[in-house]
A and B are shown apart, each in its own frame.
Chain A
Amino acid sequence: MRLPSRASSTLAVLALSSCVLACDEVGGQRDIGAGFLMQQFPRDTLPRIRRPTREESEDVRLRLPPDDEPPGRHAFYWTRAIYNGGGRGGRGWGRRGYGAWSTDFPKGDRQFLVVLERLVRLDAYDFENAVDLADPKLRRFPLLYAVEVGHMDLTPEQIHGLRDYLNAGGMLVVDDFWGTYEWAQFEYNIRQVLPGRPIVELPMDHPLFSAYYQIDSILQVPNVRNGEAVTRGYGHTWEQDGYLPHVRGILDDDGELMVIINWNTDLGDAWEWAEDPMYPLPLSTFAYEMGTNMIVYGMSH
């Protein structure tokens, strides 16, 4: 069975990106879509699309969908781990001075889901879903995503919760941490969660790399600024001293992955900024392929 080619997935990303481009209003205020329309049509025949105000856009971060319904309506919830560490300590919102866990939250998550559902026939919940590691509700979501884990500083409850979660059958995907210092910080924490389990480099013939797309090599996915710089010709994809990307894992007793570690790469930014025309398309494509593969693998192994 032939896997869909890079080309078709790239086209899908491109198509969706342009749709998102027309609607997205967070942060950079890219008016291109609306402005174009205003040039072509007189004001009174414009379709009534109300653009959210800056305040409302800010509120997006705080406005979480209702969670009083038992999660079961959808087969899959993209779940982000809330953990202690980074910023001015403690939990919080947003990258700017709040906890590290919330990097690219919630825009990155929603963006990712939009494209994911186009690529895979998956019944996924369309909104972000953030759960603390110490929360028993965590067990309801057997696939978990954590970013900026180089700033991890887990509380004992979070360590215990994550350990039980992984031993029960859950899978954790970590992403967006660079360099030896951040690796050491992450490793220290994960060793407390899963003492005695070795961290192994995943070979390219691991089932993860053929679960949905066939991935033949690991590319380094930069953050959005580095990505734009690379496109302009003067930048590099690495941060700190993380020059080479690695995909590592921690296996359970039966050889299945419990933790997938994406080190020296930032898949989350690629998911979030795929519509940015200055972000290198092959890298965002690769990021989506990795994401899809991780989900298909995590839902079957």
Chain B
Amino acid sequence: MSGVFEFLFKYRPLVFEQGDFAFTSPAAVRMWLVGAGVLAMAAVATYTLARGRAARTDRVVMAGLRALLLGVLLFCLLQPSLILSTVVPQQNFVGILVDDSRSMSIADEAGRPRSDFVAEAFAPEESDLLRQLSERFTLRFFRFSSGAVRMDGPGELGYDGTHTDLGAALDGAREELAGLPLAGLVMITDGADNGRHPLTESLVPLQAAGVPVFTVGLGEESLAPDIEVGRVELPRAVLKGSTLLVDVVVTQTGMGRRTVPLIVEDETRLLGEEDVTLGPDGEPVVARVAFELDAVGAHRVRFRIPVQDGERVDRNNARDVQVEVRGDREKILYFQGEPSFELKFIRRAVRDDENVQVVTMERTAESKFYRLDVDDADELAGGFPRSRAELYRYRALILGSTEASFFSHDQLQMIADFVSERGGGFLMLGGHGSFAEGGWAGTPVEEVLPVVLSGTPAAPGDFLAEVKVAPTPAGAANAAMQLVDDSLDVRDRWAALPPVTIVNRVTETRPGATVLLQGTGEGLDPPQVVLAHQRYGRGKSLALTIQDSWLWQMSADVPLEDQSHETLWRQILRWLVDDVPEAVSVTLDQEQVERGEAVRLLASVSDSTYLEVNDAVVTARVTDPTGAVAEIPAEWTVERDGEYAARLVPSGEGSYDIEVTATRGGQVLGTDETHLVVAPSDEEYFGAGRRTSVLQRIADETGGQFYTPANVSALPDDITVTGGGVTLVEQRDLWDMPILFLVLVVLMGAEWGYRRMRGLA
């Protein structure tokens, strides 16, 4: 199409877009032409006096045609031109950025890898493109993957970059060429950006400097047929024996809606398998798979779909995630204000869980407490903890039907701080002494609760209602609410449980809280909030407003072998202690890196009362795969209290163990461990189709153009007319456009044909 346009109009559409139209004939010539026009009008007028055989319409038509003819001639004589600024040859630079990442070696386009285009287009001897470009500009070559690096020529490309970061590449090239007259940047890539730089931040300086970016997109937009496993999220650390429920996103193009197995495995064994029915082309489908991790230590879990026949890209069928399994015994303090069967059945439900220790304390009389599962006779000997050091030893706190007036104000504040500062988990159970009925409104704990305490609490014994509990949509997706991990719908399992009773009317949650379970019953409108949770400070808080969940174990409607009650409580308690920070905790900004890639280690350090300390001595002991140990000090980041950072550059491949110890004044505050895996990454093979939209956007926002290998030959000319740098104003004639000649011929032919037709000779 553009070829035809160019033939007719002499220049490409881009030139017309860039240039301004003007008539450039000198003023004197115009005057003469105008005069000639007037005489011509007079001549035409005399024709009308002549009598002939022609009818009125004929005369009008023929006069019109003649007039048009004259108009075209006039147009040509007025010297129409395009005024545009063109780049001065040899005075400007052009940066050529070539994608050097692994995705360039993917073979598409009739089985040839994308890198072939680069090899051909920039082969020193044969390439037209290179010749034209180097005639007009001085070329500077860069190769980029996570950043731009200068190179002398295309021969230095290795296509082994593990990330593609377009923004960083543009920044790098622009900075290197700053100060030079830059006509533009040419970026040759497939556009599959998986870097961390937002693109907009890199485009704005280019716009400001007036540097257009010409993008050449390689590869096919969709690599079909292919199955791709999307990103998988797993918690960083879990307790031994936890059942993990993971959502895996799988997308297929061109493979049809078949069913494939999703295999979950770690280094030593198969953990789980689930069949996934793929969705329509390009549409992601979520597969939920449950599995258990038993052995304590670091695990590398792989989610993989076996490579199917005919898949174009086989390296995007697996994802690896690091998980650490902890074997500690987490302590939970459960304080019950008066004897209740709920305590009995909660204890029974988690009796077999080796990793959760529920220390229970029941108030049987005014100053009499019944303690169970304490470590020794001194633990909690003085009643409910009175000091932070005593309370913070637990990871979670459960309060069952204890009225607020039992606690001193300090203790109430301490409970609130337990959640916000220490980061512990908090759960309040329903009962006469809980929520508004227990006088908790107006206490520091009220803010911690995820529910709003009603203004007018019922007097004890007044309100009692039966509710049928069902999960909300958020609850149905929550791992802790799954009663068993078989294929039965979670809602059906909940529907099979008998109703329970409430004595606290709770209908509203705080902003930011999520309702997981809802209760419906006679006269209860709006429905009762049964289980809600929210994050508060560093911790989380839950509210369970029913008072007798033990009915789900005892009721005659529940079969004896049903484990719903046990499973529910086990999962709730594990959820309560999940992610509860220790005094010292360490994280890495990336779990897996390539050899030579830097990793930032962040440690947060607090003392026994969980106040951040800024004067601790923090050391990271790194054991590399060969067994050699290095000690790296971490420095306080100054930006944030209690945060210490260190930089680590691993040199060999394998698994690194990192143990961080914090001491202050000779006393050890705590230690934490984490792991780092150094291995080649397959990130480049995910989402490796050409991202036309990204490349088009880069071109549009900077004033450049987008090309594919098919039309890239126009690139040198286009840079000339649209580029920045040193430019020259040029005037290009339009009077000799072939289309004008064609129009003249057509008009004359039309007039002659009309005469013949009408028999006017």
Residues of A within 8 A of B (CB): 1, 3-4, 69-70, 72-73, 75-76, 119-123, 136-140, 142, 164, 167-170, 211-212, 254, 256, 295-296, 298-301
Most chain A Cβ neighbours within 10 Å, of B503, B555, B556 = B556
Note all chain A residues with C-beta closer than 8 A to B340.
75, 299
| Contact in complex: A120, B365 (CB < 8 Å) | yes
Residue of A nearest to B557 (CB): A136
Note all chain A residues with C-beta closer than 8 A to B381.
1
In-complex Cβ contact of B548 among A72, A119, A212 (8 A): A72
| Contact in complex: A136, B556 (CB < 8 Å) | yes
Note all chain A residues with C-beta closer than 8 A to B551.
140
Give, as a whole number of angstroms, the nearest-CB distance from B365 to chain A: 5
B146-154, B368-376, B701-709: which lies at the A interface? Answer: B368-376
| Contact in complex: B365, A300 (CB < 8 Å) | no
Within 8 A of A (CB), among B437-472: 461, 464, 466
| Contact in complex: A4, B368 (CB < 8 Å) | yes
| Contact in complex: B341, A164 (CB < 8 Å) | no
> Is B611 interfacial (CB 8 A cutoff)?
no
21 pairs, A vs B, C-beta closer than 8 Å: A69-B464, A72-B501, A72-B547, A119-B365, A120-B365, A121-B338, A121-B366, A142-B341, A142-B550, A168-B553, A168-B558, A168-B560, A169-B554, A212-B368, A295-B339, A299-B339, A299-B343, A300-B344, A300-B347, A300-B360, A301-B344
Residue of A nearest to B401 (CB): A75
Note all chain B residues with C-beta closer than 8 A to A1.
368-369, 381
What does the 1/0 interface line of B325-368 toward A look like (CB < 8 Å)? 00000000000001111011101100100000000101111101
| Contact in complex: A300, B370 (CB < 8 Å) | yes
| Contact in complex: A73, B339 (CB < 8 Å) | no
Note all chain A residues with C-beta closer than 8 A to B547.
72, 75
Note all chain A residues with C-beta closer than 8 A to B304.
none
Chain B contributes a number of interface residues (CB within 8 A of A) equal to 41
Q: How far is the CA of A233 from the CA of B656 in the complex (A)?
A: 84
Note all chain B residues with C-beta closer than 8 A to A3.
368
Excluding A70-B501, A72-B503, A169-B344, 6 further A-B contacts by CB distance (< 8 Å) are: A72-B466, A75-B338, A121-B339, A137-B556, A169-B348, A169-B553
Task: Please judge, given known A-B contacts A169-B345, A299-B339, A299-B344, whether A142 and B554 are in contact too, CB under 8 Å.
Answer: yes
> Is B432 interfacial (CB 8 A cutoff)?
yes
Residue of A nearest to B556 (CB): A136
Q: How far is the CA of A169 from the CA of B560 in the complex (A)?
A: 10
| Contact in complex: A300, B372 (CB < 8 Å) | yes
| Contact in complex: B464, A70 (CB < 8 Å) | yes
Give, as a whole number of angstroms, the nearest-CB distance from A3 to chain B: 8
Q: How far is the CA of A14 from the CA of B339 in the complex (A)?
A: 25
| Contact in complex: A123, B365 (CB < 8 Å) | no
Give, as a whole number of angstroms, the nearest-CB distance from A5 to chain B: 12
Note all chain B residues with C-beta closer than 8 A to A298.
344
Residue of B nearest to A167 (CB): B560
| Contact in complex: B348, A121 (CB < 8 Å) | no
Q: How far is the CA of A49 from the CA of B208 in the complex (A)?
A: 98
Q: Which 6 A-B pairs have the closest CB atoms?
A: A72-B501, A136-B556, A299-B339, A139-B556, A139-B554, A75-B340
Note all chain B residues with C-beta closer than 8 A to A138.
556
Task: Please judge, given known A-B contacts A72-B547, A139-B555, whether A121 and B363 are in contact too, CB under 8 Å.
Answer: yes
| Contact in complex: B344, A142 (CB < 8 Å) | yes
Q: How far is the CA of A137 from the CA of B551 in the complex (A)?
A: 11
Give, as a whole number of angstroms, the nearest-CB distance from B382 to chain A: 9
Q: How far is the CA of A80 from the CA of B204 in the complex (A)?
A: 82
Residue of A nearest to B565 (CB): A169
| Contact in complex: A212, B370 (CB < 8 Å) | yes
Note all chain A residues with C-beta closer than 8 A to B338.
75, 121-123
Residue of B nearest to A170 (CB): B554
Residue of A nearest to B341 (CB): A142
Q: How far is the CA of A4 from the CA of B365 in the complex (A)?
A: 10
Note all chain A residues with C-beta closer than 8 A to B558.
168
Q: How far is the CA of A121 from the CA of B366 in the complex (A)?
A: 7
What does the 1/0 interface line of B498-515 toward A look like (CB < 8 Å)? 001101000000000000
Give, as a whole number of angstroms, the nearest-CB distance from B310 to chain A: 55
Note all chain B residues with C-beta closer than 8 A to A121.
338-339, 363-366
Give, as a whole number of angstroms, the nearest-CB distance from A131 to chain B: 12
In-complex Cβ contact of B560 among A136, A164, A300 (8 A): A164
Q: How far is the CA of A142 from the CA of B346 in the complex (A)?
A: 14
Q: How far is the CA of A97 from the CA of B715 in the complex (A)?
A: 112
Residue of A nearest to B499 (CB): A70
Note all chain A residues with C-beta closer than 8 A to B365.
4, 119-121
| Contact in complex: B461, A296 (CB < 8 Å) | no
Note all chain B residues with C-beta closer than 8 A to A256.
348
Q: How far is the CA of A107 from the CA of B488 in the complex (A)?
A: 50
Q: How far is the CA of A120 from the CA of B370 in the complex (A)?
A: 12
Note all chain A residues with C-beta closer than 8 A to B464.
69-70, 72-73
Task: Please judge, given known A-B contacts A70-B464, A300-B347, whether A75 and B364 are in contact too, CB under 8 Å.
Answer: no
Give, as a whole number of angstroms, the nearest-CB distance from A257 to chain B: 12
